[in-house]
Amino acid sequence: MVETTYVIGNGFDLHLGLKTSYKDFYEYLDEQINEGKFEDNGLIKDIEDSIKDIRFHGDPNKPEKLDPEKERPLVNWANLEAGIKEDLQRLAQSEITHEVLSTRIDDFFYDLSKCLSQYLHSQNDLVHLNVSGSQATEGILAPFRNLASGDRDDLFNSIIKGNSEITDPNIKGHFEINFVNFNYTNTLDQYVSQVANIDDSDFKRVTYGSKIAAVNKKILHPNGTFDETSIVGVGRAEDIPKELSLEDYQIDYLSKLNFARNRHDGRVDETFKRLKDSDVTIIYGMSIGESDAVYFDKIIEGMIANPHKHVIIVRLPA
């Protein structure tokens, strides 16, 4: 059996023309703040300052120290996550009361998640993919076909070695393609809906005669979708300063992993399994921020457990 898992990041949506880079959302958020939409939400304003600090290498409260010539591009969602983490650390060192802190955390989650959800919803509504089944198939196969012939041979030979102990021909000849989508949009769902099976002669080398790969239509969204309330926060509960003494429910929605687990639909464990057990993992357009590191640890665990596992990273032009 051959399992291939595509790990899809924001580069996929950007490639389709959506304005879903962090820079796009940051500018939208900045407009909302300037219009007074979050006048009573101090934490969102603090996070914006933290991001400016990251962006300009300076103190956001002292504009004269900002250096636009050294501006870092805001293209990765990791910028937002870093800003949140930095501000939580700042709050942990402050002397504000627990009541004020609790209110700021609650307002932050509600307002920022709602803002992000509305923005991504507006972008998602602009796209109705007009992609044929053959075009979608070519796109899915591209990471394999774009490998140098020698690298492609090494990959398939390694898969054959990894499956050499399987004796059941039905299992041995099965090729499955899975998707883990870290985007909040449904563009990938539209794309994959065009394909049921993929017929490719190269697959005969690893499926012992069959050249058909089954496409698993159940796309995992570990971070949720905009319809579920988008998750923005840090990766694990351990990343939240203990000095804040937050309530359990606040920790659960500040920690992306906790929030996902509390949906009780098994998506976290299923994502872990796919990332660890796949023979081939293809990472497409993913910034790999710190808050998602817990998922990428599973890919590394899989590489340690299975020396025949391959990882292909597809990076898109900046």
Give the pLDDT confidence score for residue 231 in this predicted structure: 64
Give the pLDDT confidence score for residue 239 in this predicted structure: 86
Element containing residue 140 per DSSP (H, E): helix 133-145
* C-alpha span between 121 and 123 (Å, rounded): 5
**Residue 91, both tokens:** 């709050």
Helix axes 267-277, 293-305, angle to 10 degrees: 40
Give the pLDDT confidence score for residue 41 in this predicted structure: 63
Which residue carries 């900045």 as its tokens? 30
Element containing residue 216 per DSSP (H, E): none
Give the pLDDT confidence score for residue 63 in this predicted structure: 47
State the Cα angle at 288 between 287 and 291, rounded to 5°: 125
The 3 state secondary structure assigned to 103-125 is: HHHHHHHHHHHHHHHHHHHHHHC
* C-alpha span between 3 and 304 (Å, rounded): 17
Q: Pairing relation of β-strands 197-199 and 212-215?
A: antiparallel
How big is the chain by its Cα radius of gyration, in Å? 22
- Taking residue 214's Cβ as centre, other Cβ atoms within 10 Å add up to 13
pLDDT tens for 238-268 read 888 888 888 888 888 788 888 888 888 899 9
CATH placement of domain 2-16+131-223+265-314: 3.40.50
Q: CA–CA distance from 61 to each of 56, 96, 148, 167, 196 (Å)?
A: 12, 19, 51, 66, 54
Give the pLDDT confidence score for residue 109 in this predicted structure: 73
Give the pLDDT confidence score for residue 173 in this predicted structure: 67
With a cut of 70, list the residues of the chain below it in pLDDT. 39-79, 166-173, 208-211, 229-231, 317-318
| Boundaries of every domain in the chain | 2-16+131-223+265-314, 22-126
As to burial, measured by CB atoms within 10 angstroms (0-12 exposed, 13-18 middle, 19+ buried), residue 305 is: exposed
> What strand order describes the sheet that includes 2-8?
197-199, 212-215, 175-181, 2-8, 280-284, 310-314
Give the pTM.
0.83
Give the pLDDT confidence score for residue 208 in this predicted structure: 65
Answer for the pair 287, 8: CB distance below 8 angstroms, yes or no: no
- Note the residue count of the chain: 318
Handedness of CA 142, 276, 232, 190 (dihedral sign): positive
* C-alpha span between 287 and 292 (Å, rounded): 10
* C-alpha span between 80 and 232 (Å, rounded): 8
